[in-house]
Structure 1
Amino acid sequence: MKIEFKNLIIIMTLALGLVSCHDELDQSPTDPDSFTEEDVFANTTEAKGALAKLYASLALTGQTGPAGDADISDIDEGFSQYSRMLFNLNELTTDHAVVGWGDAGLPDLHGQYWSGSNDFTEAMYYRLAQEVSFCNSFIANASALPQDEEVTSFIAEARFLRAFAYYNLIDLYGNVPLVTEVTTDLPMQASRAELFDFVETELLEIQDDLKPSRSNEYGRVDQVAAWALLSKLYLNAEVYTGSARYADCVIYSNNVINSTYIINTNDANGNGTAYDELFLADNDTNGAQNEFIFTLNFDGLNSQTYGGTTFLVHAAIGGSMDATEFGVNGGWGGLRTTKALVEKFPEVSLDDLNAALGTQSDWGIVGDATPNGWDGPDTEMYETGTNQYTLYTTLTAGLLKFRFNEDWGNNYGDNGADGSLEVGGENILVSAGTYQIILDLDALTYSITPFSPTSDQRAMFYTDGQNLEIEDISEFTDGYAVTKFKNIDSYGDQGNDSAGDFVDTDFPLIRLAEIYFNYAEASLRGGGGDLNLAATKINELIERATGSTNANITSSDLTLDFIIDERSRELYWEGQRRTDLIRYNYFTTDSYVWPFKGNAPLGTSVSSFRNLFPLPTSIITVNPNLSQNEGY
């Protein structure tokens, strides 16, 4: 079903050649009146194609593929894609990410010193405004069709997508125009509270018109999506309106929890966790789809964009990373994370790991890369079986060999660096990092594998040659790289684009794990939920992450600080972080700082007006009905 609906998205993207301008929210992307063509709404089948365009407007950027006929002018087309902008505004502005590129306006985001003319805040506004316009046009035209159950659900989906766009506008910009029909009149500005009421009312009205839980085609929303968006809306109500709605958040989160969506526990690639399956190229079929409530669908051949997961995969590769391991043809050397995210994952003791392996042996490693250098004594390995030895250790950049009992008469090296051992062979070159080292004396082979010293396998970082501390944001090797998103499927195969340019991996905008956290947080904030249930649900995520129940919690462990840290560990790089930090009053204050917050190496507070982005200066200039957000 993914392919069927995705093909419709592509057809409508190419068929609706959209070139003029409109004034829905007073911007100049593509014309929504393209939906008024009679053949587009001749019948239900044709209307479904027009509906596909509403979804495509969030996933893609234009009419001819990745570039060449953009929906939005005056910005690089690849920059303007919705989830790429969501990353820039909600992750790059936080402790979760930095980028090494110097494109005008981009360094401003992590440094938190953007202006009203920032290209990226402007592009997101235009993208969301366009989505509202397309939805308004679709709703008007589809309402003229003979009304049956299918058309009713189409209209409900369009109203959901419009509500979703307005949810984003409320969150990012605050007071924006509220327009529900195609018009050329200059719109008036609505308050955040009025916009909140609109989104709430829309979702409550359409919930029963949307198809039941998981009965719609993959990639299209259902009733549970409306409940999930209400959960998000109510969780942030106090920020948006000044009035808390945590009890309502608990109700609608509970509706989602009791639906047919389930946490993915299918470890399809057999690597010990089912978490990484959520971000692989076959996440529409490997079990992850059972957790995804609302996704952006991508296909490396048929829905090409330089945004989406193509951006998240390519941009996160650089330094000594091998792009082929991620299913693409190269890295863009941009995105990394700060130590603030890395340190959210508690480290386990290497001594404890080694002690659990077995008996310490007389075989060890020696060299200037090892803890004791060439003069020894050897760093001894642990016997895990007959002629089988393992060691967890931290190495410096340099050389090593395997040696028995400090005796140079019995040592192994590697001639040719091919992973096989020879008696008295050449020294083995390694980079600095923490590793699992395995020695097999039966096969005369060895492996030196980078190892993350945490039991939480959500800590998906590349550290070889990367510095934890960031001194120069422009240097890719400053900051750990993130390996969360890949264009490799559960069997290790590359995505559909054999050239390795574009990525198949779908992007989850809302998934069940987020709603677990919403329920827990709203319960803690006085929403009346069951903290035992909240702990049970969060334990599902912890068990998936660690492969055991050792790190499980009880209801007494649930605190607001625990929840926001756990959200960070589970949801990083999924477009959530800025919203979470604002809700906790951490985004602009000195209550929580991270490297280069406020453009200071150690981090500092910034003015509270930056909890909102500015309305585009170009919009303010042409519409006297609009007032700029405070501080800009």
Structure 2
Amino acid sequence: MKKLFIYLLLPLLILGSCTKLDQEFYSQVTPGTFFKSEKDILAALNRPFTHARWYVGEDRWYLQEHTADNFAITTKGPHWENGGENKRYHYHSWTPDDGWIWGSWRGTLMGIALALDARSDLEKLDYSKFALTTDDQQAHINQLNTLIAYFYMRGLDFFGGLPIFNSLEGENLPRNTDQEVFAHIEQLLKTAIEKLPPKSQLDEPAAGELKQAAAAAMLAELYFNAEVYIGRPMYQECQQLSQDIIDGKYGPYQLDATWYGPHSFKNDRSPEIIWSIPSEFNKLQYDWFYSSFYHYNSREYFGQDMGANNGTHMTPSRRPDSTLYRNEWKLGSPFEKFDNGDLRKKPYRYLGSSNYEGMFLVGEQRKPDGGVINGTQEYDRRPLFLRDQVGRFSEVGPGKKYSSVAQLPSNMSEGEENTGVRLVKVPIPTLADNSLRWGADNPVIRLTEIYYMLAECKWRRGDIAGAAGLINTVRKRNFVNGADPNPVLAANFDKYRFIDEWSIEFLGEGRRRTDLLRWNMFTTEKWWDHNPSGSDHLKRFPVPTQAISGNNNLQQNPGY
């Protein structure tokens, strides 16, 4: 095997493969002998997309959300202390030895390597021998170029400069600069936009492939965050691309009529999906979050048979005494940022026939038939009530540690089993409709993001009314008859209202840290149990110790 690929692959095999790599790897078989049909070509093309399915969740999601203001994994009695790692991310005191950082560095370079390997094979083929055209070949190659650009852009966001490699030859490459990686991503995407086909029809279902609009959306995102990445604002360039996407230059897309359309069991047919990762029950299913997000007995709430670990929850909107954290900080409090009339704020309920309502597990937890759900730890044999608060409420009362809730501390060490509202953005059916389970694809890029990017570009360039109009166009679908009680107005549209709108619409979609960085809030603002560090070096994660130990040409980021 090629040396670089061994360097990237061995840690994956040692730590457990994200793609399970149970298929035979054909790196030493020439394309001319392996590829016998179009099916073989598609298998090679799809292999790095299987890696992308894993990559868009897990460690990358944790780095984006658990270092920001909307989610936390509190210590819950004897559970989730994890050597303090969860707290280090929340308090911005992570180290080069922490696991999510290593997993993300490793996963980024592995994704690039897999896509490069597939591209190398497909470039060598004579597509006419498979009754395919050169346009087909260019579409396949540029899907891979777009995917390579995606991995590099995520790596740039997390770490800054990465080693740039265009083949799997060589080893121990040094890091390129932020500017060089930015330029590499930009060129890959510009080329892909020219070569990829556009979406042809509005009702064309998403099937996981990258089309022209996906490459254009990624390039818009690169420009959108350019000031963070390379110190150069490029909002005008982002604005033009975003407007072109909305205007249909790269194919027909439109906002879904409902809030749940882009997330539902049938979201592959949502007109606003630009790129999604397909999911199907027992077939590369999109389910990584379930075990972390939900309580041990949430299976009873969902009418399901799946256990969970009761880890991740939303940060609290309320103090232990039930008053809101309104005057202490402006970020966080994600549940209470939703208006009470917002259809999404209802408790999640599966209604049958693939229909559901609401987006949260909150308050009294009951089975689909109305039966009471009890806790298993502090609330063993007592009804389970999920609180939008953090505190050891089970330790309040006569003869207990605290005489009243007013004495309860609220911090990362003081959770218990009922701590925190839980997000249900991916619908979960009851066992009666279990064929629908994990049928919702993972919407990586949707048109709503383009509307919000365009709005922010307009806002930053002084068109506050134009920005508000775009946000309100999206907001109205979240209310009965489109009657929004709290639309964005020029008078109330400051930076905090804007960052709240990003939070409300994209809650839990693995982007929060990036949004806070762009608004210069990640290291400067306070949120629940988090004081700002003011340290610019924390805007990038460190190069993992394991990466440097395997490649002494890698230089550590400043400040670590």
Task: Give the TM interval when normalised to the shorter protein.
Answer: 0.7 to 0.9
The code of the aligned residue for 2:422 comes to A
Q: 3-state SS of the aligned residue for 2:443? A: strand
Q: Which structure has the larger Rg over C-alpha atoms?
A: 1
Q: Is the 8 A contact 2:60 2:100 kept in 1?
A: no
The code of the aligned residue for 1:332 comes to N
- The counterpart of 2:103, out of the listed 123, 144, 153, is 123
Gaps of 5+ in 1: 1-17, 61-80, 266-273, 350-395, 398-417, 421-427, 432-462, 498-502, 598-602
Moved more, 313-322 or 290-299: 313-322
- The counterpart of 1:237, out of the listed 222, 226, 234, is 226
The code of the aligned residue for 2:113 comes to S
Inter-partner Cα distance in structure 2 for 1:282 and 1:227: 25
Inter-partner Cα distance in structure 2 for 1:85 and 1:555: 38
- C-alpha spacing 1:327/1:525, structure 2 compared with 1 (3 Å): farther
- The counterpart of 2:71, out of the listed 74, 97, 109, is 97
The code of the aligned residue for 2:557 comes to N
User: 2:433 corresponds to which residue?
Assistant: 493
Q: Is the 8 A contact 1:214 1:222 kept in 2?
A: no
User: 2:198 corresponds to which residue?
Assistant: 212
Q: Is the 8 A contact 1:344 1:569 kept in 2?
A: no
User: 1:34 corresponds to which residue?
Assistant: 26
The code of the aligned residue for 2:266 comes to D
Q: 3-state SS of the aligned residue for 1:290? A: coil
Q: Is the 8 A contact 1:41 1:47 kept in 2?
A: yes
User: 1:294 corresponds to which residue?
Assistant: 275
- The counterpart of 1:264, out of the listed 256, 281, 288, is 256
The code of the aligned residue for 2:180 comes to E
Note the C-alpha offset of 1:335: 1.3
Q: Deviations over 1:194-232 (max 9, x none)?
A: 111111111111102111125685211100001111111
- The within-5 A match list for 1:303-322 is 303-304=284-285, 309-318=286-295, 321-322=298-299
Note the C-alpha offset of 1:622: 3.0
- C-alpha spacing 1:236/1:151, structure 2 compared with 1 (3 Å): same
Q: 3-state SS of the aligned residue for 2:57? A: helix
Note the C-alpha offset of 1:35: 4.6
- The counterpart of 2:337, out of the listed 345, 352, 358, is 345
The code of the aligned residue for 1:468 comes to Q
What count of residue pairs does the alignment treat as equivalent?
461
- The counterpart of 1:628, out of the listed 547, 556, 559, is 556
Q: Is the 8 A contact 1:41 1:142 kept in 2?
A: no
User: 1:59 corresponds to which residue?
Assistant: 53
Note the C-alpha offset of 1:606: 5.5
User: 1:76 corresponds to which residue?
Assistant: none
Note the C-alpha offset of 1:240: 0.6
Give me the TM-score of the superposition, normalised by structure 2.
Answer: 0.74
- The within-5 A match list for 1:440-451 is none
The code of the aligned residue for 1:464 comes to F
The code of the aligned residue for 2:433 comes to D
User: 1:191 corresponds to which residue?
Assistant: 177
Note the C-alpha offset of 1:327: 4.8
- The counterpart of 1:83, out of the listed 57, 63, 78, is 57
The code of the aligned residue for 1:595 comes to W
Q: 3-state SS of the aligned residue for 1:29? A: helix
Q: Is the 8 A contact 1:337 1:480 kept in 2?
A: yes
Q: 3-state SS of the aligned residue for 1:341? A: coil
The code of the aligned residue for 1:488 comes to P
Inter-partner Cα distance in structure 1 for 2:522 and 2:277: 27
User: 2:268 corresponds to which residue?
Assistant: 284
- C-alpha spacing 1:507/1:298, structure 2 compared with 1 (3 Å): same
User: 2:235 corresponds to which residue?
Assistant: 246
Structure 1 residue 22 corresponds to structure 2 residue 11: no
User: 1:370 corresponds to which residue?
Assistant: none
The code of the aligned residue for 1:282 comes to K
The code of the aligned residue for 1:521 comes to E
- C-alpha spacing 1:241/1:329, structure 2 compared with 1 (3 Å): same
Q: Deviations over 1:272-299 (max 9, x none)?
A: xx223433333224xxx32221222222
The code of the aligned residue for 1:186 comes to N
Inter-partner Cα distance in structure 2 for 1:223 and 1:49: 21
Inter-partner Cα distance in structure 1 for 2:287 and 2:432: 18
Inter-partner Cα distance in structure 2 for 1:566 and 1:167: 24
Structure 1 residue 222 corresponds to structure 2 residue 211: yes
Inter-partner Cα distance in structure 2 for 1:324 and 1:21: 48
Structure 1 residue 608 corresponds to structure 2 residue 549: no
User: 2:119 corresponds to which residue?
Assistant: 139
- The within-5 A match list for 1:514-593 is 514-526=449-461, 532-547=465-480, 548-550=482-484, 551-554=486-489, 557-589=492-524, 592-593=525-526
User: 1:475 corresponds to which residue?
Assistant: 416
Note the C-alpha offset of 1:120: 1.1
Q: 3-state SS of the aligned residue for 1:184? A: coil
Q: Is the 8 A contact 2:4 2:169 kept in 1?
A: no
Inter-partner Cα distance in structure 2 for 1:429 and 1:303: 31
Q: 3-state SS of the aligned residue for 2:533? A: coil
Inter-partner Cα distance in structure 2 for 1:162 and 1:255: 23
Q: 3-state SS of the aligned residue for 2:214? A: helix
Inter-partner Cα distance in structure 1 for 2:288 and 2:559: 31
Q: 3-state SS of the aligned residue for 1:295? A: strand
- The counterpart of 2:309, out of the listed 316, 324, 332, is 332
As a proportion of its length, which structure holds more strand?
Answer: 1
Inter-partner Cα distance in structure 2 for 1:605 and 1:473: 22
Note the C-alpha offset of 1:145: 1.5
- C-alpha spacing 1:51/1:163, structure 2 compared with 1 (3 Å): same
Inter-partner Cα distance in structure 2 for 1:119 and 1:419: 41
- C-alpha spacing 1:291/1:493, structure 2 compared with 1 (3 Å): farther
Computed over aligned residues only, the root mean square deviation of the Cα atoms, in angstroms, reads 3.3
Q: Is the 8 A contact 2:2 2:168 kept in 1?
A: no
- C-alpha spacing 1:151/1:94, structure 2 compared with 1 (3 Å): same
